[in-house]
Structures are given as structure tokens and as C-alpha cells.
Structure 1
């Protein structure tokens, strides 16, 4: 196992550097704009634009991979991301910054596709779960380290953007110098949206609300913290504590979810999350140590919602549809991550920073109301349910290629060898799949 992880060291190092840069950028930008009295709606819009790029850039990324190959595609997108970050040091216009972040999201989803398809194709099936888990660990660690940079170097001038750009430039080196063979071009998973809306509506609801909360957290948690009087280093600790706690909780929550009813566990998470954030509504003046403690609890509850919802969905979908399911779940989660920061930013502008955690309580209460055992018929539950719980990156950043890396998916279903003509045909089929699902008998009520 050690030799396997060592053989992927270049991919893991590239992932770590990318996430350090992204984690640092999100917190730094929120703090800088808050210090300049910029509207929270603009802060939320920046993170929303980034997630919109992640969701919408996959098709463009596939075309780039087809035309130039993995290493060239990765190098071009890493260079573009670096340029977009440095461009913010030259242009002081929030509207243009939104465009920059959209482009960064589109470029980085291509980088994630390169890394994830590489890991997927060159991992033996019996090692897939451990390789995927280590990838998740590296992603979360990168996000945490990005916050901790601000505790060591708590400045809010343009030098921090230079550091972000350095991270994005450095992530080029492990891929450019790797001796590994190129993987085959990943197949775009068909988006059977109508089928899954009917089969796993509860899971899609859970993933959408989890995306709202995650996007809001990464975009506006630093704004909330600074409005509570925390300095730059304390804000970084506040955010890092939640991410690290969520990362560490993945395995024990996974163990538990494989042994008890998942809908009950999701509902319990949601109820506790709705209640535990009440002290941070702005009604009380909390000491720093208590805010960090509550942040850890929020991280545990928040960052386990995505893998719990994904595992619950897999309990009701046959193995041959799980690549498509994973792609749809990522898309729904990404759409939620686009909307959450916008709504939260608008609420904080209108009614104060306490609305950040009021939004958390409302979303969690909606999830608890929706996730009721009586809504689950079990009609389409698969024979192997409960399907193995798989930890997911707490960074909330992945690409459709991650669907094939999921160890719950049969490696035969994740084959990735295609010619250019085959790829074009697959794309056409993917675009038409939603309409076809309305005619091919894909009806049924699985979870409700």
C-alpha cells in the first residue's frame, strides 16, 4: 500500500498545493473585502462564481483533454489560474474579479479531472478505496494549511495574492516532471437527471442543502468571524478548526452509517446542526475558545452531510448507474454551493452577520423536516444495502471524473478508453439522456 501511495506522490502533491492556494485565497479575500467595507453579497458572489465555474467547466475540460492530452491540459489550466490570481493585483474592479473567479473555477475543474482520472485508471480495484481516501485526506489537509498560512503571516495586502499564485504555479511542477504514463481520456458520465429525481429525491435534497451550507461556509465564515471581533489569525483558526474536524469525523461517521439507518443519521445531523449554531446567531458575546469549539461541531455535522447523502443514494441505485449518479450528485451539490453564498451574503447585508448562522439553522431545519423515515419506501433498495460509506473531500471541490474513482463503482463501469469520435458521440448521448429518461421506463419511487 505504501508503494502505491508513493507512486502517486506527484498527483497528491499537486492536489495539496492547489488546495492550499484555494483555501488561502477564499479566506484572505473574504477578510480583505470585509476590511474594505465591501458588501457581503459581493463576497458571496466571488465564491459562487468559482463554484459555477467548477460546475459548468467540465465539458470544456473534456474537450481540452481530448485535443492536447492530460499534462498539457493541466499545465495550461494551472498557468491560467495563476494569471487570473495575479490579475487581481492589477485590476481593482469587483465585476472583473467575478469573471476571474469563474475562469479559475473552469480551469481548476480541468485540473481535478486530470488528477482524478489519473488516479482512477492506474489504481488496482482492491486499492481504490484507500487511494481515494488518501486523496480526500490530502484535499482536506490542503484546505486546512491554506488557513494556517494566515496564522503565520497575517497580512491582508497584495503579497498574499502572490503567495496564492505561487501555490498554483508550483502545482505545475509535480505533473510536468512525473514519469507516469498518461491515462486514457475520461468518459463523460451521462446525466440521467429525471431518473434520479424520481429515484433518489431525498438524497438530491440533502446534497443540494449541503452544497448551500458548504458554499456559504467557505465564502462567508471568515466575514462572520471578523464581524465578531476576531483578528486575522483567529479567523484562520476558526475556519481551519471546522475543516479539520469535518475531515477527522469522516471515518467514525462512516463506520456508524454502515451500521444504523442512514436517514435517521442524516436527520440527527441536521437537527443538531440547526440547534448548535443558535448561540452564534449574534445574540450572545461568545469567547474565542467557545467559538472554535462550536466551529468544530459545525464542521463535523456539515462536512459529513455530503458523504452520508451520497451513500444513501447509492443504497437505492444499481451498480451500473453509479457513475452517472455520482456525476449528478456532484452537479447538484455544486449548484447549491453557487446559491448558498449569494443568499447568505444578501441576508447578512440586510440583517447583520448573525444571519450567517440563522441561514445554517434554516437549511438544517429544512433538511431535518425532509429526511423523515416515513418518506423512505425501500422499494428500490439494492441487495447490498447499506452500500459502503466513502469519505468525500471536505473541500467540496471535485470533478465528474471523481465518479469513476469512487470505490463503490465497479471498475468495469468506469472504463475510460475512447477515440475522439467516440467521445463526441458520448457527449451527444449525455446531452440527450435527460429527455430519453422520460420515455425509457425509468420511473419509480425509490426513497419517497
Structure 2
């Protein structure tokens, strides 16, 4: 384990800094708008724009990486994200903030793709599970630390935006200084939406519901806590406590997922969420102790839905389609996370801040109604189902390439789906008898070429 941390510390540090900046930015923008008495609909629109950018980045990222290579793509996106973050401090026009928020989401998705493809390339097949766990810890820890910064610096000035931009500048350093060769080129995995809608409809419904709930939580929970009378320090503690619950529950969730029916677990956890959210949904003013306890319990449950749905869907999809399945799940999650903050924002604007948790409870009730364990036919269940549960990183901090790190996915399948097929040049099968086979000296680099360029990195 120590050797793995040493081998991947640069990529883990890059992920940590990215998520510190992302987590701080989301909470800062919500609190900044709350201090300016802006409608909750705008707060929801900002988070929706972020998730829309993440979904869009899943398509653009492949093209950018294929065009300029992993290091240059990562550096480009880190620079763009840093500039977009600082743009929030230069412009007070909310429609411009929505565009900037979308740019941040798009750039971060490209960064996720670079890091995850690099982790997969460098990880040994037997170590992918441990590497995956390290990535998950770095992701959640970054989100928690981003909230705790507000405890140490509660003033909502431009210095917090500078700190976010600083995080995105620092995440660039370990990737830019690497001496390793680029990972293999990538191409998008086909999503096959019709196939998956027919094959795993209940999993997709759960992922959509999880996106609606978690997207609304990240975008609007800081606003809800602020309108409950919490100070900036207390809002940071509340958000950090809730996100930490999401990390804490992953290991017991894996134990349950491997021993009990996953459809039944999804339905049970959705029911628990509907009940746990009721106190915060009913009371317009909540005592501080009740707010922290109920928020922690809701987060324990709501962060279980997406990992369970991923495991449940993988049980019913063949190994050669699991990369495509992950892309489909993340797009579905992104759609839900884009719509959720808008819907919850409207409810909060019309009926009050407590409607956020009433919205969570309603979504959970819909999932209880939608998920029916008895309707699972198991006609397409894979032979070794249930597959070993893998604790997924928070779905706002991963790309479709996260499937490459899943130890349940065969490495050969990953390489086949994620590498571009490069036609080999036509050569004579054997050299002439009177001339020995000889590889000439390497050609010198041109003025515009880079030693890590993809076209020269691999044949």
C-alpha cells in the first residue's frame, strides 16, 4: 500500500487540489448569492450549468486529448478553469456566471479524464482496486477540505476565489512535471442508450434520482444552511460533515452490497432517505443540533444510491460493455444533476428553504415506488454476479474513464475500448536476404515537436 501511495502520489495530489477548489467554489458561490439575497433559482442554475459542463466535457475531452496529448490537454484545461474562477470576481452579471460555471465543469471533466486514464495505464492489474480506493479517498478528502477552508476563512471576499484559482494552479504542477510517457490515445466508448434502457432500467432510474438529489445537495444545501441562520463557519462545518458521511458509509455499504440483494438495498435506502429528510422538510426553523444530525443521516443514505446502482447494473451487463455502461450512467447522472438544482431551486423560491429536504424526500419516495426487486428477472445476470462491490468516488469527481480503474472490468477489454486503432504502415514481411534487417537512427525532433507528443510516443 505504501508503495502504491508513493507511485501515484502526484496524481492523487492533483486530484486532491482539484476537488478542494471545486468543493470550495460550489459552497462559496451559494453563500455569496445568499448574502446578496439572490433567488435560489439562480443558485440552482449555477450548479446545473456546472453539471451540464461536466457532461459536455465528456465528449470534448476525448477530442482535445487526441489532438494535443494528455499533458497539454490537462495544462490547457487547468489554465482555463483558473481563469473562469477568477472571472467570477471580475463580473457581477449572473448570466455570465452561469457561462463561467459551465466552463469550469467542462474543463474539470477533461482533467478527470487525463488523471483517470493515467492511473489506469500505470496501475498493475492486481493493484487497480487499491489504486481506485486511493483515488476515491483523495476525491472525498478534497471535497471535505474545501468546506473546512470556510471555517478558517469565513469572509466571502475575492480572496476565496483567488484560493480556488491557486488550487487549480497547483494541481497542474505534478502533471506538468511528469517524466512518464503519455497514456495511450483515447476514443469515446459508445453509449448504446436504447440497449441499456432496456437492459438495466431500474439502475438508470436510481442513477437519475441520485443525480437529482446529490446535484441539488451540492448546489443548494449551503443556501439552505445559510437561510437557517448558520454563520459561514457553521455552513462550512455542516457541508464538511455531510460530505464526510458520504466517505464514511462506503465501506459498510460494500459489505452490505456483497451479501444482500442490491435492488432491495436501493429500495430500503431510498425509504430511509425519505424518512430521514422529513424533520428538515417539516420544520421551517431547525435547532443546530438537529440540523447537523439529520443532515449527516440524510447524507449517509443519499450517497449510497449511486454506488449501489452502479454495482446493480454491472451485475446485468457483460464485461465488454462495462466501459460503455459507465459512460451511460454518468451521462444519466449528469442529466439528473442538471435538472435537480433547478427544480429544487424553484420549490425553495416559492415555499421556503425547507423545501430542499422535502424535495429529497419526494425523490426518495419516487425511487421506492420505481424500484421493484421482484421485477428483476435475472435473465441477463453475469455468471459471477453479484460482482464484488467497489466503493465509487463521488460522481461529481469522475469521468466515464473511471470504469478503467474498476478491478471488475477486464484489462484487455479496457485497452480494446479505450485505445485508438492506429493502422500499421505497409512493410515487407521479411527483409531481402542480402540485406540485414535494420532500424535506422531516430529522427531528430522538429522545432514544433515535443518529446512527449502522442504521435511519437507510440507506434
Give the TM-score, by structure 1 length.
0.92
1:412 Cα shift? Answer: 0.6
C-alpha distance in 1, partners of 2:130/2:297?
26
C-alpha distance in 1, partners of 2:308/2:182?
33
The SS at the match of 2:400 is coil
The SS at the match of 2:397 is coil
1:2 Cα shift? Answer: 1.8
1:421 Cα shift? Answer: 7.8
1:349 Cα shift? Answer: 0.6
Residue of structure 2 equivalent to 1:445: none
Q: Is the 1:282–1:354 Cα contact (8 Å) retained in structure 2?
A: yes
Residue of structure 2 equivalent to 1:207: 207
C-alpha distance in 2, partners of 1:47/1:171?
22
Residue of structure 1 equivalent to 2:131: 131
The SS at the match of 1:304 is helix
| Deviations, residues 70-102 of structure 1 (Å, cap 9, x unaligned) | 111100100000000111111111001111111
Residue of structure 1 equivalent to 2:293: 293
C-alpha distance in 2, partners of 1:260/1:186?
37
The SS at the match of 1:401 is helix
The SS at the match of 1:57 is helix
Residue of structure 1 equivalent to 2:446: none
Give the TM-score, by structure 2 length.
0.90
Q: Is the 1:18–1:142 Cα contact (8 Å) retained in structure 2?
A: yes
Alpha-carbon spacing, 1:149–1:395, altered in 2? closer, same or farther (3 Å):
farther
| Deviations, residues 136-186 of structure 1 (Å, cap 9, x unaligned) | 110000000000000011111111111111111111111111222211122
1:187 Cα shift? Answer: 3.1
Residue of structure 2 equivalent to 1:103: 103
C-alpha distance in 2, partners of 1:284/1:187?
50
Structure 1 stretches of 4+ moved >6 Å? none
C-alpha distance in 2, partners of 1:389/1:69?
33
Residue of structure 2 equivalent to 1:184: 184
Q: Is the 1:11–1:175 Cα contact (8 Å) retained in structure 2?
A: yes
1:29 Cα shift? Answer: 0.6
Q: Is the 2:66–2:186 Cα contact (8 Å) retained in structure 1?
A: no
1:237 Cα shift? Answer: 1.0
Q: Is the 1:243–1:394 Cα contact (8 Å) retained in structure 2?
A: no
1:403 Cα shift? Answer: 2.1
Bigger radius of gyration among the two: 2
The SS at the match of 1:378 is coil
1:383 Cα shift? Answer: 1.4
Q: Please, which moves more after superposition, 265-274 or 183-192?
A: 183-192
Alpha-carbon spacing, 1:395–1:386, altered in 2? closer, same or farther (3 Å):
closer
Q: Is the 1:206–1:305 Cα contact (8 Å) retained in structure 2?
A: yes
Residue of structure 2 equivalent to 1:72: 72
C-alpha distance in 1, partners of 2:395/2:36?
27
| Deviations, residues 311-356 of structure 1 (Å, cap 9, x unaligned) | 0001111111111111111110111111100100011011110110
Q: Does 1:216 align with 2:216?
A: yes
C-alpha distance in 2, partners of 1:60/1:319?
26
Q: Is the 1:143–1:395 Cα contact (8 Å) retained in structure 2?
A: no
Q: Is the 1:66–1:420 Cα contact (8 Å) retained in structure 2?
A: no
